[in-house]
Amino acid sequence: MRRKGNPAFGRRFLGNVNKKEVHDLDNEKTGAHECQINEIIKAKHARTFSPDSLEQANREGYDYCAYCLSYTLMKKALITVKLGPEAARMSNTEIVKDIREGSEIPLCSEIEKVEVMKNA
Ligand SMILES: [Zn+2]
């Protein structure tokens, strides 16, 4: 959650000068041992970046918080599959629905995109 007043001023990224770690306030994790933004502010360890970006924090040697910035470490995979002959008789909408509802892909947390095309 962004904070309007001093020292965050509504900015998205907040640095902890003590641990040299940057947090994304738009993805703040508020569990007991997670971001602890209020504690950082209370201890006067908070600072912002100009411009307000991860690139700037990175340039200044700040590490990414493992809780709110874990998404920057995530990977994705692109898979192309040949569909069986039964798919030739189905609409693309039905195929996408079947793939989304019936797929078990190892390590997959979410299917982002399914695109059906001719097997040219
Ligand atoms: Zn964080």
Q: Ligand 1 centroid vs 119 CA: distance in angstroms?
A: 45
Contacts 24+ apart (CB under 8 A), 54-59: 54/13, 54/22, 54/24, 56/13, 57/13, 57/15, 57/22, 58/22
pLDDT, residue 74, reads 86
Which residues have their alpha-adjacent CB atom under 5 A from ion ligand 1? 23, 35, 65, 67-68
Q: Ligand 1 centroid vs 22 CA: distance in angstroms?
A: 7
Q: Ligand 1 centroid vs 70 CA: distance in angstroms?
A: 9
Closest residue by Cα to residue 38 from 60, 14, 61:
14
Share of the chain above pLDDT 90, in %: 92
Q: Ligand 1 centroid vs 100 CA: distance in angstroms?
A: 32
Q: Is the pTM of this model over 0.95?
A: no
> Any bridge partners for residue 105, and if so which?
none
pLDDT at 119 over 90: no
Q: Ligand 1 centroid vs 4 CA: distance in angstroms?
A: 18
| Residues 38-89 pLDDT 10s | 999 999 999 999 999 999 999 999 999 999 999 888 899 999 999 999 999 9
